[in-house]
Amino acid sequence: MKTGFHTIKMFGILAEKTGQHVLTVPLMADTDQLTAWLFERYPQLEGIKFTLAVNKQLIHNNTPLDEGVEVALLPPYSGG
Amino acid sequence: MKTGFHTIKMFGILAEKTGQHVLTVPLMADTDQLTAWLFERYPQLEGIKFTLAVNKQLIHNNTPLDEGVEVALLPPYSGG
Amino acid sequence: MERKPKNIFIQGAIPAEKITESVQKHATQTDIGAHAIFLGQVRADTKDEGVVTAIEYTAYEEMALEKVFDIREAVFAKYPVTCVHIYHSLGQVDAGEICFFVFTSAPHRREAIDACNEIVERIKAEVPVWGRELLGNDKHVWKKNT
Amino acid sequence: MERKPKNIFIQGAIPAEKITESVQKHATQTDIGAHAIFLGQVRADTKDEGVVTAIEYTAYEEMALEKVFDIREAVFAKYPVTCVHIYHSLGQVDAGEICFFVFTSAPHRREAIDACNEIVERIKAEVPVWGRELLGNDKHVWKKNT
C-alpha cells in the first residue's frame, strides 16, 4: 500500500473555484482516482473543463501516479 | 498633323542607361511609335525589361498618346 | 544551443520601448532582410457584467517555459530564421497596453512572417497561461481564446 | 476618408524609434487587440562584384503614392482593420538599417496579420520603387525583387 502525499497545482478558474493554488492530497494510484477524489472534495469543479499535466506533460488517458510527480490541473489556455 | 512635344519620365536602370530622367520627344501617335523612336535614339535600351505608364496607369497594349499626357518608362519594381 | 529555457515573462505590461530596442539590436546582423513582429494589446471589450479595464495573467511558469522552448526549437528547425524573441506579460496589464510580443528575423520576408505567425498560434494554443479580465467593478471574467 | 494620398516616403533610413512611437500612439484605441509589423532591413548581400553596403532608393513618387492609396483602400475594404501605416525609404539606406515599415492594427490577430502580409506583397509587386545596391567600390547592381 502506498504512503505519502501528492502535490497538486491548480490554475486559473480552478484555483479560483477551490480557493487553492496548491493542494496536498493522499497518494493516489492513478489520475482517475485523483480526479474522483477532487470532485468529491470540490464539487464546484464539476462542469469546469480542464486537462491534467503530470510532470509538465499533458496526459489524455488514465496515468499511474508515482510519489514525487508534479500534477497540475489546467483550464483552457488564454494567453496572448 | 500633330505638333508639340511629349514629356517622358525614365526611372531606375533606364535613367542610368540613357543618362536622362526626363526626355522631351516630338509628339507621337501612340506608344508603339514612341517606343520605336526611343529604341532608335537609345539603342542601349534594347534588352532591358520595362513597362509603360500613361498618366500613371500601366498600359499593356498600344495606346494613343494625346498631348499633355505623362508617359513613364518603368523597369521591374524592387521596393521593400 | 543551451538547453535551459529562456524566461519569456515580464511583470506587468511590455514596455513599447522594447520593440525599438529589439530592432536596434539586430542592426549589426546584416544577413537579416526582414523582421516580423506581432503585438497583443489588451482590448477594452464589453462583457455582460462590464467593460474590461485590465487583464491579470497567471501561468504555470515552469511548464510554459519548457513549452516555449520546444516551440522555439521546432521553429528554428522548420524555418531559416536568424532570431526569435518572445515575451509575455504576467500580472496586471491595463487596456491599451502590450501583453504579448513575438519578434522574428530572417534573411527573407516569407520565413520571418511564417515563423512569427506559427509562434503566435502555437503559444496561444499550447502554453499554459491564463487571463482574468477585470471589469473595473470587482467583477471579472476568465478570458477565452478563439 | 480624404482622397489625397498620404506620403509614405522618408528620406534615408527609417528611424527604429518610429516603431515604438507608432505603437504608443495606438494605446488609447482600446478596440485594438493586435498589431502586426513588417520591417525590411538592408542586407549586406554578396554579389559577383562586391558586397552590398547600402541601397539607394528612387521612386516614381506621384504614381507610387496613388498606388499605395489604392492598396490601403482595398485592404480597409477587405479586412476589419483599425489602422494601417506604411513607410518606405528614399535615397540611401545602409546595410542593417530599416527601409520599409508596414504596421497594421485590428481587434483580432488574424485580420492584422493578413492585412500586413497583403500590404507587404502588394507594395513589393505594384509600387514603382527601385533599389540600386551600392557595392562600396563605385560599383552597383540593380536590386531584383523575388
CATH number at residue C23: 3.90.1170.40
Q: Is B78 on the interface with D (CB under 8 A)?
A: yes
Q: Spell out where chain C has E strands.
A: 9-11, 34-41, 46-47, 50-51, 54-59, 83-94, 98-106, 129-134, 140-142
Q: Is B16 inside a domain boundary?
A: yes
Does B11 reside within a domain? yes
Give residue D112's identity as a one-letter amino acid code. A
- C3 and C70 in contact (C-beta within 8 Å)? no
Residue D9 dihedral angles phi and psi, to the nearest 5°: -90, 140
CB contact under 8 A, A11 and C60: yes
Minimum-distance CB partner of D131 among B9, B53, B79: B79
Gap from B1 CA to chain D (nearest CA, Å): 31
In this predicted model, which residue has the larger pLDDT, C51 or C2?
A: C51
The single residue listed with the C-alpha cell 479595464 is C53
Task: For chains A and C, count residue pairs whose Cβ atoms are closer than 8 Å.
Answer: 66
Which residues 6+ apart lie within 8 Å of D100 measured at CB? B79, B80, D14, D38, D39, D40, D87, D88, D89, D120, D123
Q: Does some domain include residue C4?
A: no
Q: Measure CA D41 to chain center.
A: 10
C19·D17 Cβ contact <8 A: no
* Domain annotation covers residue D2: no
Q: Is residue D3 domain-resident?
A: no
Q: How many CA atoms lie within 13 A of B10 on its CB side?
A: 19
**Dist CA A5 CA A38 (whole Å):** 14
Residue of B nearest to D130 (CA): B78
The answer to whether position A80 is within a domain reads no
Domain that residue C84 falls in? 9-142
Q: Chains that contact A by 3+ CB pairs under 8 Å?
A: C
How far apart are the CA of B79 and the nearest CA of chain D, in angstroms? 5
Residues in chain B closer than 8 A to D47 (CB atoms): none
Of residues C93, C104, C94, C99, the one with CA closest to residue C124: C99
Judge contact between A48 and A75, C-beta under 8 A: yes
DSSP code string of A2-64:
--SEEEEEE-HHHHHHHT-SEEEEE--SBHHHHHHHHHHH-GGGTT---EEEETTEEE-S--B
Contact D145 B72 (CB under 8 A): no
| Mean pLDDT value across residues A27-49 | 95
Residue D1 covered by a domain: no
Contact check, Cβ <8 Å, D23/C40: no
Contact call for residues B79 and D131 (beta carbons, < 8 A):
yes
Give the count of domains, chain C. Answer: 1
In a domain, C61, yes or no: yes
pLDDT in tens, C44-76: 999 999 999 999 999 999 999 999 999 999 999
pLDDT tens column, C4-53: 789 999 999 999 999 999 999 999 999 999 999 999 999 999 999 999 99
Is it the case that residue C3 has pLDDT exceeding 70?
no
**Residues whose CB falls within 8 Å of the CB of residue A26, separated by 6 or more in sequence, listed in order:** A5, A6, A37
Does the model's pTM come out above 0.90? yes
Average pLDDT over residues B63-76: 94
The nearest CA of chain C is from the CA of A1 a distance in Å of 31
C30: closest CA of chain A, how far (Å): 30
Kindly tell me if the per-residue pLDDT of A1 is higher than 60.
Answer: no
Burial annotation D29-42 (CB, 10 A radius, 16+ → b, else e)? ebebbbbbbbbbbb
- Does the beta-carbon distance from A11 to C120 stay under 8 Å? no
Residue C107 lies in a domain: yes
CB contact under 8 A, C142 and A75: yes
Number of domains in chain B: 1
pLDDT-derived band of residue D2, with 50, 70 and 90 as boundaries?
A: low
**Whole-angstrom distance, CA of residue B26 vs CA of residue C12:** 68
Asked if residue B68 is part of any domain, the answer here is no
Q: Is residue A15 part of a domain?
A: yes
User: Is B33 a residue whose pLDDT tops 60?
Assistant: yes
Tell me the average pLDDT of chain D.
96
The position carrying cell 464539476 is: A46
Residue D83 in grid coordinates: 489602422
Q: How far apart are CA D84 and CA A43, in angstroms?
A: 50
Distance between CA C145 and CA C134 in Å, rounded? 16
Chain D, nearest residue to B52 by Cα: D128
Touching D: which chains, 3+ CB pairs < 8 A?
A: B, C
Tell me what pLDDT residue A3 has: 62
- Alpha carbons A42 and A37: distance in angstroms, whole number: 9
Domain that holds residue B12: 5-63
What does the pLDDT average to over D104-116?
98
Query: Is pLDDT of C124 > 70?
Result: yes
Residue D36 inside a domain? The answer is yes
Q: Which residues of A touch C57 (CB under 8 A)?
A: 79
Sorting pLDDT into bands at 50, 70 and 90, what band is D5?
confident
Residue A33 to residue A62: CA distance in whole angstroms: 9
- Tell the residue number behind the cell numbers 491579470, with chain if given: C56
Residue of C60, C128, C145 with shortest CB distance to A80:
C145
Per-residue pLDDT tens digits for D18-27: 999 999 999 9
CA–CA min distance C55, chain A (Å):
10
- Give contacts of D64 with chain B, Cβ < 8 Å: 79
Report yes or no on D33 lying in a domain. yes
CATH number of the domain to which A32 belongs: 3.10.20.30
The ipTM estimated for the assembled molecules is 0.94
